Amino acid sequence: MLKILLPTYNGEKYVAELIDSLLAQTYRDFKLYIQDDKSTDGTLYIVTKYAMENPDRVIAYQNEENTGGAKHNFLKMMIEYKDDYIMLCDQDDLWLPDKIEKSLRKMKEMESAHGASTPLLVHTDLKVVDDNLKVIRSSYRRMANTSYKFTALNNLVTMNVATGCTIIYNRALANLFTAEPESFVMHDWWVALTATAFGKIGSIRDRTVLYRQHTNNEVGAKKVRSVRYVRYVLTHIDIMAGKLYNSYRQAGSFLKMYDERLSDEQKELLAAHASMPELTKRGKLRLIFKYKTFLCGTARKIAQVIVLLSSGKEPKEPKGVT
């Protein structure tokens, strides 16, 4: 059986359109679980109405208290809900009709190759659209200048390439989510880290989602492919530094949570990455060259080195740069 997990919070503007796109999928053997995070708008009314009209396919309820953010609400659901296959869903996107069918086909191909007992994750590309679903870019992968081959642990420890709303994972991976970690940047990054550490990650380049990019989250992806991105980072050092520092904390948290399952080589890599804030600038550069923990793309690599040579004390929480 397939479960789709949809955390919601103040999403009344788009959530009905999203749910309609799920119910219109070519693959229909799934259940949609909606967990509202104490919305203060009409979201709960909307999702409850869908659950009442589709009792065999939609289950909706509300948390007793707000979890503190979408990533926490996602992780709460991921810990609670297990099944043969799990898909993650954002409240303001729109799924193209064959998204489930394509993702599930690739997942079953991977299970045939690696066995269903292997933790597996599949993700796809997206079409980037504005608030009115007008296409901004036909490929988020190209827009953000990411590579779907960038999936080794030394790659993913610094940067995630699997967008949450495109992800499907199997029961073997789902069973590894048992508690919320002390520190994690985003739920999808945590899923990808877990998959690459203990299993396999696969991808398809098909665009399966219309991915809304609002004004406040366009900056990083637009600037990554050019010198303009490096120039932007030079004038916003704290933002990139904040993302790197968060990756260090996340690595330490991952090491702590899965210590007994990790190989000695994986432990060494994670411990080294987590130790970065304690090192001198020269020490940081030595470690990223030793473990090849570079960001994806030439512009990002240049920006990463610039930040490491410029960094001082731990920066503030980052916003806006990928």
Is residue 318 domain-resident? no
Residues 72 and 209 in one domain: yes
Who's near 195: CB < 8 A, 6+ residues apart?
119, 120, 121, 169, 173, 201
Instruction: Tell me how far CA of residue 309 lies from CA of 168, 233, 290, 306, in angstroms.
Output: 38, 13, 17, 5
Residues 35 and 75 in one domain: yes
Q: How far apart are CA 121 and CA 154, in angstroms?
A: 17
Domain range enclosing 265: 219-310
Residues 203 and 223 in one domain: no
If one counts the domains in the chain, the total is 2
User: What is the mean predicted confidence (pLDDT) over 14-33?
Assistant: 97
For residue 239 the two structure tokens come to 């933002």
Q: How far apart are CA 29 and CA 165, in angstroms?
A: 19
Residues 32 and 114 in one domain: yes
Task: Please check whether residue 119 is in contact with residue 111, taking contact to mean a CB–CB distance below 8 angstroms.
Answer: no
State the average pLDDT for the chain. Answer: 91
Question: What is residue 298's predicted lDDT score, i.e. its pLDDT?
Answer: 80
Is residue 322 domain-resident? no
Residues 244 and 301 in one domain: yes
Task: Please check whether residue 5 is in contact with residue 77, taking contact to mean a CB–CB distance below 8 angstroms.
Answer: yes
- Which alpha helices (H) appear in the chain, and where do they start and end? 15-23, 43-53, 70-80, 99-114, 140-143, 153-156, 171-174, 187-198, 219-223, 227-235, 237-258, 264-274, 281-291, 298-310
Question: What is residue 311's predicted lDDT score, i.e. its pLDDT?
Answer: 61
Task: Please check whether residue 173 is in contact with residue 167, taking contact to mean a CB–CB distance below 8 angstroms.
Answer: no
pLDDT band at 320 (very low <50, low <70, confident <90, very high): very low
For residue 317, pLDDT beyond 90: no
Residues 148 and 14 in one domain: yes
Task: Please check whether residue 97 is in contact with residue 206, taking contact to mean a CB–CB distance below 8 angstroms.
Answer: no
Residues 151 and 228 in one domain: no
Q: How far apart are CA 237 and CA 304, in angstroms?
A: 10
Pick the residue with more confidence: 18 or 240? Answer: 18
User: What is the mean predicted confidence (pLDDT) over 17-21?
Assistant: 98
For residue 206 the two structure tokens come to 């098909």
Question: What is residue 225's predicted lDDT score, i.e. its pLDDT?
Answer: 59
What is the tens place of the pLDDT at every residue in 190-236?
A: 999 999 999 999 999 999 999 998 654 433 344 465 567 667 767 77
What is the tens place of the pLDDT at every residue in 137-154?
A: 999 998 888 889 899 999
Pick the residue with more confidence: 289 or 302? Answer: 289
What CATH code is carried by the domain that includes residue 30? 3.90.550.10
Is residue 286 domain-resident? yes
Long-range contacts of 315-319 (CB under 8 A, 24+ apart): 315/237, 315/238, 315/239, 315/241, 315/242, 315/245, 316/238, 316/242, 317/242, 317/246, 318/238, 318/239, 318/240, 318/241, 318/242, 318/243, 318/246, 319/239
Flag the least confident range among 78-82, 122-126, 316-320.
316-320
